[in-house]
Structures are given as C-alpha cells and as structure tokens.
Chain A
Amino acid sequence: MATLPGLSDSLQPLDVTSDPDVPQRLAIPLGSEWRVEVPQDSKLQVKILSGIAEIFGTELAIDIEYTFQNTNFSIYAVEATELEWKCLDLANQSISSNTNLKHIYNLHFSLEKLRVSSFEGPRVLIVGESSSGKTTLAKYLCSYAIKFKPYEPVMVNLNPQEGIFSPPGCLSATPISDILDVSSNTWGQSMTSGATQLHSKQPIVKNFGLENISDNRELYMRIIQQLSEVLSNRFQSDPMVRRSGCVIDTPPFSHFSDDFSELHEIIKLFRITAIVVCAHDDNLAVKINDVLMSQTIPIVRVPTSNGVVQVSDVFKRSLQRSAIKDYFYGDLNTVLSPYTIGVDFDMITVWQPRSALNTDSGSEALYLPVETNASNLQHALVAITYAPRRAPVEEVIDAPILGFALIMEVNDTRKKLRILLPVPGRLPDKALILTAYRYLE
C-alpha cells in the first residue's frame, strides 16, 4: 500500500504573541488538524465553542475546559471547529490539512466489517519504529470502535516504556468500554475507590519492571505469555469483549530481536488476525511479510502522520514519572489520597528481575532476592504481588499484581522504611518486586 502524497500541506504557522490570560480564538477548517506541543511546565487550556472536534478519535465536549500538560497532540475538525485556547508558552503549533485520517478510517471500517461478521473480533498487532504513530493509531482504533456501538475492544500494551492505565514498566490489557481521557498521558485512570468524573477502566496489569525489553528478553516473553493467557480466558468468558477483539501496541520495532522470535511468539500467543505497520514507506511491511511467509495474516501499512513528534528520552522519562505520580495521586479530574506507613526491614521480602545490572549473581533464576537497604530501595517503585510474602520464587514470578508501592525513605541504622501505598491500611503481607523505576517528590 503506497503512500499518497495527496493533499498539499497547507501548513500555517500561527502567531505566538498573546496575553496568557486572554483566550485566543482559533478556527480549524473541516478535515484539518491543529497540532500542538505543550512543554513540561506549561498548561494549555482548550474549550471547543462549536463544531465537532476529536483528539485521536475521542470527541471533545462543547464548552468544557480541557487542560493539557507535557504532551503533543492534535485536534482534528470532523466538522469545522471554533475553539478558545490559553497557554503561557506553546512550544509549537500549526494547522495542517495533510493528515493520515483517510487511512485510519479505512482501517477502522475494515475492522468493523470483521466485527459484524463474526463472534470473534479482529486481533490487531501494531508495529513500527520509534515515534511512527503506533500508540496514536491504537487510540484511534479503540476510540472509533466504541463511538457508535457498544463494543469493548481490549487495548493490549506490550511496551513497558509507556504506562497505559498503569505505571511504567508494565504490560497490560484493558477493555475500552467507554471513552478515553484525552488529557491523560496514560489514556485515563484505572479503578478508584469512589465515583469519578470520567469513566475509569479495569486493566489487568503485569509487571515487567525493567526499562528495556533487551534487559531480560526471557522475562519479557514470560510476562507476555501470562498476559495472553489471562486475555484468552477473558475472551472466553466475556462475549462482548470477544466480539470486539483487541488492539496490541508494541515497543519500537528495533527493540525486538533480529531473529523476529518475539514477533512470531506474540502472533501465536495472541492469535493475531491482522498486522498494521506504522511507517513512512513499505520497507518494514515488506520485511515482515517475508519473515511471515508461511502465514496468511493480512499486513497493512498506515502512513506515519507528518504531525508525529519524535519522542526524546527526556520526554519519555517525564511521561514515566507522571504515570507513577498519577497512579498514587490521581490527576486534575480525580485527586487521590495515598497513604504513608512505616515498616521494619524484617517485614518485607523483595525480589528483582535478573538483568544486565546483576548478571554476575551466578543464579539462572528469573528473579533474585534483594537485600533491604537504602542503596537498593530508596525512592524505588515496587510491585506488590498476590504471592504470599514467603512464597518460593517460581510462585512470585507467576503471581498476579495487586498494585504498587513507593519506598520513600530507608533508614539503614534503625532498619525502618517509609512506604507510600495507594490504598489505606497495612502493607499487604505479600512478596514485592523491585522495579528499575525511581520517583523523587
């Protein structure tokens, strides 16, 4: 499927001179999108005055103020849109009619046809290099699937570098049964103890806990296997989810092994029925087609939007940090109160995945015990498993995840820790897993 240069790019850089307290008016013509980059310490407020406007497939309500921080996105005018916006320092903004929406619509309609004609919805794998628009495409496909019909496609995140309804370091599967939160960099929130303004989701979250899949590929595939099994069981017991299918987002393609083994395994475990390649040209799609010669899975390329913003490591880290913060403290719409407790050193048992940082341990096990001390644990994000505290390591590796805790302070002398818990009460008497992520207030 070749790229159509298509519509000429009517890029209009806009005037940035503005009094931050006075809202700016903006008109987006039908079929164009307003692209913005909101730097980390800036706040962009937007209110749609008229028309139909969407962010990556999710429609914005009229006259509601939306707030955006540390994000890059576009507002697309399904119908000519008038909006108001306020921001101290918008890094970049432009309006363009050169979008890849036509390809995304076509793909969505193909998936719709498949949903209508079967009790089993399409299971779509999205691949592509870094910043090729994979996660954005996943948002579109989920949002369009639920727009007019009560489908509940499962959003499967296999990229541990992005937190989707979870902290970073996780692989997750979340039925999308209602709209996404366009202001949230984690697509929205997982369930909280009370009512929320926006719909919360119920993900199944598996902890990988390392920064790169190459840090421990065996563990990565083990976690993927666990996730695929749970999802398969959910498909069996939930007809609505089964007929909706799933959308699977992946790490940048270059993170996979040269021998394509992970790709083969993912296709098998999730019973993939379609592969979508996000790219500027056909090269990757052709390569994958060659590798999968024996399989008859359709491969489609969706051209990368020229509105895509290259994701820097600094930006990635800032997103990971705010995903951790959101897990414990919530966001602007839903403020959460986490809970700090003190525990003694001998009240916890901590494991960590084997990786490049500890290969000299001599052990072959996927997890190694972690000594409780400040050097190992201070400021660390830890996963709390369902496995009992003294469970053997094999049980810990396969145990589901209860949630996360943050180790705020470690006192080696008094042998005490201060831990931040998401839920008030005692520290669950469960095995903990140290992740590679650290969070300082």
Chain B
Amino acid sequence: GATSKNIQSRNWYLHDAQWIQFKDEEIVSTTRREDDTIT
C-alpha cells in the first residue's frame, strides 16, 4: 500500500473541555497516493 512519506507523531489528547465541544467531522481522513506531492 501507499506509505506516508512525511514524518508524523502522535497528537496530545484533547482536554475534557475541548473534547466535549469536538465534532468528529473535523477529523479529515485522506488516503495518500504515492505520487502525491508533500506540502
């Protein structure tokens, strides 16, 4: 499958107050294709 070429790390978890207000539609899931340019 496609490999992520950018360096990533785990995010800190949200504070309770932030998580309560969070909407999951803010989570964008994209599939990287191997020929994608890295921004």
Is A334 an interface residue, CB under 8 A from the partner?
Answer: yes
Contact (Cβ within 8 A) A197 B31:
yes
Cα–Cα distance between A103 and B1 once the two chains are bound (Å): 35
Return chain B residues, CB-CB under 8 Å to A205.
13
CA distance A238 to B23 in the complex (A): 7
Cα(A333)–Cα(B21), bound, Å: 29
Contact of A193 among B8, B28, B30 (CB under 8 A): B8
Q: Which residues does chain B contribute within 8 Å of A152, judged by CB atoms?
A: 24
Complex contact B1–A339 (CB within 8 A): no
Classify chain A's interface size.
35 or more
CB contacts (< 8 Å) of B3 on chain A: these are: 335
Selected from A190, A328, A400, A423, the residue in CB contact (under 8 A) with B16 is: A400
A200 surroundings in chain B (CB, below 8 A)? 27, 29
> Could you say which of B8, B21, B24 has the most chain A C-beta atoms within 10 Å of its C-beta?
B24
Tally B residues with Cβ within 8 Å of A.
Answer: 28
Chain B nearest Cβ from A69, distance in angstroms:
16
B30 & A204 in contact (Cβ 8 Å cutoff): no
Main secondary structure of the interface of B (DSSP, over half): loop
Per-residue contact bits, chain B 1-39, to A (CB 8 Å; 1 contact, 0 not): 111101111111111100111111101111110000000
Q: Can you offer 25 A-B residue contacts whose CB atoms are under 8 A?
A: A152-B24, A177-B25, A178-B29, A190-B11, A191-B10, A193-B11, A194-B4, A195-B32, A197-B2, A199-B27, A201-B27, A202-B19, A203-B13, A204-B14, A233-B20, A240-B23, A241-B24, A327-B10, A328-B10, A334-B8, A335-B3, A335-B8, A403-B10, A422-B9, A423-B12
> Nearest 6 A-B pairs (CB), nearest first?
A177-B24, A422-B10, A199-B29, A194-B8, A233-B20, A191-B11
* Interface, chain B (partner A; CB < 8 A): 1-4, 6-16, 19-25, 27-32
